[in-house]
Amino acid sequence: MAGPLSHIKVLDLSRVLAAPWAAQNLADLGADVIKVERPGKGDDSRAYAPPFLKDAQGKDTHESAYFCAANRGKRSITVNLTRPEGQAIVRELAQQCDVLLENYKVGDLARYGLGYDDLKALNPGLIYCSVTGFGQTGPYKDRPGYDFMAQGMGGMMSITGERDDLPGGGPQRVGIPIIDLTSGMYATIAICAALAHRAVTGKGQWIDVALLDTCVAFLANQGMNYLATGETPGRIGNAHPNIVPYQTFKTKDGNIILACGNDNLFNKFCEAAGCVHLAQDLRFSTNAGRVRNRDEITRLLNEVFMARPTREWVELLDAAGVSNGPINNIAQVFEEPQVIARGLKFELPHAIAGKVPLVANPMHFSETPLRYEVPPPALGQHTDEILRGVLKKSDAEIAKLKEDGVV
Residue range 178-218, pLDDT digits in tens: 999 999 999 999 999 999 999 999 999 999 999 999 999 99
Residue 237 lies in a domain: no
Q: Give the mean pLDDT of 72-94.
A: 98
Residue 259 lies in a domain: yes
CATH number at residue 171: 3.40.50.10540
Residues 126 and 188 in one domain: yes
Q: Which amino acid is at 329?
A: N
pLDDT for 197 equals 98
Residue 190 lies in a domain: yes
Residue 133 lies in a domain: yes
**Could you give phi then psi for residue 299, rounded to 5 degrees?**
-60, -45
Residues 47 and 179 in one domain: yes
Residue 51 lies in a domain: yes
Q: What digits encode the pLDDT tens for the residues 255-314?
A: 999 999 999 999 999 999 999 999 999 999 999 999 999 999 999 999 999 999 999 999
Q: What digits encode the pLDDT tens for the residues 48-69?
A: 999 999 998 999 999 999 999 9
Residues 264 and 305 in one domain: yes
Residues 256 and 285 in one domain: yes
Residues 167 and 59 in one domain: yes
Q: What digits encode the pLDDT tens for the residues 207-240?
A: 999 999 999 999 999 999 999 999 999 998 988 9
pLDDT for 1 equals 64
Residue 374 lies in a domain: yes
Question: Is residue 167 pLDDT above 90, yes or no?
Answer: no
Q: Which amino acid is at 170?
A: G
In the chain, what percentage of residues exceed pLDDT 90? 96
Residues 138 and 170 in one domain: yes
Residue 166 lies in a domain: yes
In the chain, what percentage of residues exceed pLDDT 70? 100
CATH number at residue 324: 3.30.1540.10
Residue 169 burial (CB count, 10 A): 13
**C-alpha triplet 366, 371, 374: angle, nearest 5°:** 165
Strands (E), 262-353: 324-326, 345-350
Residues 198 and 98 in one domain: yes
Pairwise CA distance, residues 285 & 260, whole Å: 12
Torsion of CA 102, 106, 111, 113, to 10 degrees: 40
DSSP state of 123: -
pLDDT interval class at 7 (50, 70, 90): very high
Last residue within a domain, chosen from 294, 328, 362: 328
Pairwise CA distance, residues 325 & 262, whole Å: 17
Residues 209 and 250 in one domain: no
Structural domain count, the chain: 2
Last residue within a domain, chosen from 328, 363, 378: 328
Residues 175 and 38 in one domain: yes
pLDDT for 2 equals 83
Q: Is the pTM of this model over 0.75?
A: yes
Residues 176 and 199 in one domain: yes
Residue 4 lies in a domain: no
pLDDT for 95 equals 98
Question: Is residue 373 pLDDT above 90, yes or no?
Answer: yes
Residues 345 and 384 in one domain: yes
**Could you give phi then psi for residue 394, rounded to 5 degrees?**
-80, 165
Active site residues: 180
**Could you give phi then psi for residue 319, rounded to 5 degrees?**
-65, -30
Task: List Cβ neighbours of 396 (8 Å cut-off, separation of 6 or more).
Answer: none
Residues 124 and 259 in one domain: no
Question: Is residue 40 pLDDT above 70, yes or no?
Answer: yes
| Structural domain that includes position 311 | 246-328
Pairwise CA distance, residues 269 & 332, whole Å: 26
Last residue within a domain, chosen from 328, 352, 373: 328
Side-chain-side CA neighbours of 245 within 13 Å: the count stands at 28
Start-to-end CA distance of the chain, whole Å, equals 35
List % helix, strand, coil for the chain (3-state, nearest 5).
40, 15, 45
Question: Is residue 131 pLDDT above 70, yes or no?
Answer: yes
**Could you give phi then psi for residue 33, rounded to 5 degrees?**
-110, 125
